[in-house]
Amino acid sequence: MADDFIPQDSPLCRAYSDGNHTVNIDIYEDGEGGWLLEIVDEHNNSTVWEDTFDTDAEALQEALDALKEEGLGAFIGPAESSGSWEAP
């Protein structure tokens, strides 16, 4: 029986704060040699990149660039997950 793949978190995962808001930058293995990037807000809404990254450092840089360019508010969704929302 083959072992199920259990993704490993990157040591580069971190919290990112600006003002009164904080998001988590989650970077983890995809099981095929790449790295996945996800930003999770304080309400547990997530933004996931469709493309993978060659290294966890590249994924972190992409997250930091996106947060700087778009602002942290673009990654904060509604407190209740009953509807859809659009980033500003």
pLDDT tens-digit readout, 13-37: 999 999 899 999 999 999 999 999 9
Residue 63 confidence (pLDDT): 98
Per-residue pLDDT band for 88 (boundaries 50, 70, 90) equals very low
Give 11's contacts (C-beta < 8 A, 6+ positions apart): 56
Model confidence pLDDT, tens digit, residues 40-80: 999 999 999 999 999 999 999 999 999 999 999 999 998 87
20 DSSP 8-state letter = T
Beta bridge partners of 63: none
Residue keyed to tokens 């996106």? 66
Confidence (pLDDT) at 6 = 85
Is the pLDDT score of 82 beyond 70? no
